[in-house]
């Protein structure tokens, strides 16, 4: 005779991929972050916007463990970054956090496949050719594996950078102005790809952008003002984002 266990437990709400609490960071007398509380839900796409100097890059750098905050906490995938030694922080960054920049930061002497495999090499793993190829396939560039960055367009280089950021299957991908150096058409291709990675693979993504159209690809837009969260929009349209930004930029300091 068999007994059947009946599961009655309701699924627990999934913990955010990134949790930020009371985050503060100053540079001398300049307060870059002034008490930021934010959650980035697993499998969601968030855009971070705000006037120049509002703290967007500092937020991303602190959330990605590239900079230490003055105070407050950042938790990525359940691990508090504050308690980690430099070594453990570096390891966590390599394994659990992806980062793409406006300037693609590819190594010019390496092929696309070698650039993509770099994080695995840095982590002491011997990357298989298949792993790099698979990562390039995810960004639609498998046939360019042997090309060097100079043989690729800007949009293709950013897609290689994306494949490199994603090869370790990070808990979160941070993108700082990823389309800032791209023309309109190529930007849209990269943004569509980011959206597909969120929808198809549940890739948690946080992107800083100045562009309301880019922000409209996200599920949510968080606005920073003077180092604080100054509002947010869900299911953003480019028009609503632009209107909100105009309001913020026109507001007296
Ligand atoms: P944003 O990305 O929104 O333009 P930042 O995070 O780059 O804003 O900067 C927030 C504030 O912190 C600005 O006043 C900026 O000048 C200052 N800041 C940022 N990084 C540094 C740094 N390394 N040294 C000194 N000041 C900095």
Give the Å distance between the CA of 173 and the centre of ligand 1: 21
Q: Is 32 in the pocket of ligand 1 (CB under 6 A)?
A: yes
The predicted pLDDT at position 4 comes to 42
How would CATH label the architecture of 16-250? 3-Layer(aba) Sandwich (3.40)
Q: What is the pLDDT of residue 250?
A: 73
Q: How far is the CA of 224 from the centre of ligand 1 (A)?
A: 13
- For 91-101, write each residue's pLDDT tens digit: 999 989 999 99
Is 205:41 a contact under the CB 8 Å cutoff?
Answer: no
Res 182: pLDDT: 92
Find the helix or strand (DSSP H, E) in which 130 lies. helix 129-138
Q: Is 144 in the pocket of ligand 1 (CB under 6 A)?
A: no
**Ligand 1, atom 16: closest residue by C-alpha:** 53
In Å, what is the CA distance from 33 to each residue of 50, 51, 56, 128, 176? 13, 13, 9, 41, 17
Structure-token match 């869900």, residue found: 234
* Residue ranges of domains in the chain: 16-250
* pLDDT of res. 123: 79
Alpha carbons 133 and 146: distance in angstroms, whole number: 10
Residue nearest atom 5 in ligand 1 by C-alpha distance: 55
Nearest-atom number in ligand 1 for the CA of 60 is 6
Write down the pTM of the prediction. 0.91
pLDDT in tens, 83-131: 999 999 999 999 899 999 999 999 999 999 999 999 988 878 887 788 8
Q: Whose CA is nearest to atom 23 of ligand 1?
A: 27
| Closest protein CA for atom 24 of ligand 1 | 27
Q: Is the CB of 36 under 6 A from ligand 1?
A: no
Kindly give the distance from the C-alpha atom of residue 53 to the centroid of ligand 1, in angstroms, as a whole number: 6
Query: What share of the chain in percent tops pLDDT 70?
Result: 93
Q: Check pocket membership of 54 for ligand 1, CB cut-off 6 A.
A: yes
Question: pLDDT in tens for each of the 253 residues of the chain?
Answer: 444 444 444 444 568 999 999 999 999 999 999 999 999 999 999 999 999 999 999 999 999 999 999 999 999 999 999 999 999 999 999 989 999 999 999 999 999 999 999 998 887 888 778 889 999 999 999 999 999 999 999 999 999 999 999 999 999 999 999 999 999 999 999 999 999 999 999 999 999 999 999 999 999 999 999 999 999 999 999 999 999 999 888 765 4
CA of 203 to the centre of ligand 1 (A): 28
Coil, helix or strand at residue 84? coil
Judge contact between 168 and 123, C-beta under 8 A: yes
Q: How far is the CA of 177 from the centre of ligand 1 (A)?
A: 15
CA distance 233 to 224: 12
**Residue 201 Cα, ligand 1 centroid: separation in angstroms?**
33
Give the model's pLDDT for residue 125: 81
200 Cα: distance to centroid of ligand 1 (angstroms)? 34
């Amino acid at each position: 005779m068999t007994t059947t266990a009946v599961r009655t437990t309701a699924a627990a709400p999934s913990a955010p991929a990134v949790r930020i609490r009371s985050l503060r960071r100053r540079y001398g007398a300049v307060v870059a972050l002034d008490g930021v509380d934010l959650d980035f839900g697993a499998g969601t796409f968030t855009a971070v916007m705000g006037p120049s100097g509002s703290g967007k890059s500092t937020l991303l750098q602190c959330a990605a463990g590239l900079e230490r905050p003055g105070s407050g906490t950042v938790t990525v995938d359940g691990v508090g970054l504050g308690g980690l030694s430099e070594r453990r922080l570096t390891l966590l960054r390599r394994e659990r956090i992806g980062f793409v920049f406006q300037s693609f930061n590819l190594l010019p002497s390496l092929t696309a496949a070698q650039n993509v495999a770099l994080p695995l090499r840095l982590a002491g793993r011997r990357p298989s050719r298949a792993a790099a190829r698979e990562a390039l396939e995810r960004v639609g560039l498998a046939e360019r594996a042997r090309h060097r960055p100079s043989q690729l367009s800007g949009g293709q280089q950013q897609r290689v950078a994306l494949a490199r950021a994603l090869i370790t299957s990070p808990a979160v991908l941070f993108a700082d102005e990823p389309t800032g150096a791209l023309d309109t058409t190529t930007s849209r291709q990269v943004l569509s790809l980011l959206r597909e990675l969120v929808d198809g693979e549940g890739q948690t993504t946080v992107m800083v952008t100045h562009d309301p159209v880019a922000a409209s690809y996200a599920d949510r837009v968080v606005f920073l003002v003077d180092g604080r969260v100054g509002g947010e929009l869900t299911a953003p349209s480019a028009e609503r984002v632009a209107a909100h930004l105009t309001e913020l930029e026109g507001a007296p300091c």
